[in-house]
Amino acid sequence: MVKAEVTLEIPFHDVDVMRVVWHGHYAKYLEIARCALLDKIDYNCPQMETSGYAWPVIDMRIRYAQPLRFQQKIVVEATLVEWESRLKINYVIIDLESGQRLTKAYTVQVAVDVDSGEMLYASPSVLLQKLGLEA
């Protein structure tokens, strides 16, 4: 199982007048953790493009349990949980100081052949190679 985590501090430009993070910014925090995860297997956006595949997000779910606030330090954990026919990544956002879970989420991405524009129903061998599952 591939896992990565990033530590972030909530900036002022991400919060509203109540100093609570606007819900749309959560996707950005997940993206930062997802990129850290994909860097671990050397298959982030540039490597995906070079391999001939785009991996658009087709589903994203977020469960907001507690709000994120201005200057709060958080840890965003990303864990790759599916890779056979799609990339499914689970996320947890945790308060750095207390360890309290604040948010759960997941994203699903599918491989699309860049030349034909067609979605693949099985992950391409390049992904399996990067995960060490295929020679």
pLDDT bin (cut points 50, 70, 90) of residue 134 is confident
End-to-end, the C-alpha distance of the chain in Å comes to 18
How far, in Å, CA of 102 to CA of 7, rounded? 14
Considering the domain boundaries, does residue 99 fall inside one?
Answer: yes
**Stated pTM of the model:** 0.94
Number of domains making up the chain: 1
Residue 74 within any structural domain of the chain: yes
In a domain, 135, yes or no: no
Here the CATH number for the domain that contains residue 105 is 3.10.129.10
DSSP-assigned letter for residue 18: T
pLDDT in the model for residue 1 = 83
Is 34 part of any domain?
yes
Note whether residue 38 is domain-resident: yes
Q: What is the Cα–Cα distance from 120 to 128, expressed in whole angstroms?
A: 14
Over 70: is that where the pLDDT of 2 sits?
A: yes
Sequence letter at residue 113: D
Distance CA 16, CA 55 (A): 32
Range of the domain at 93: 3-130
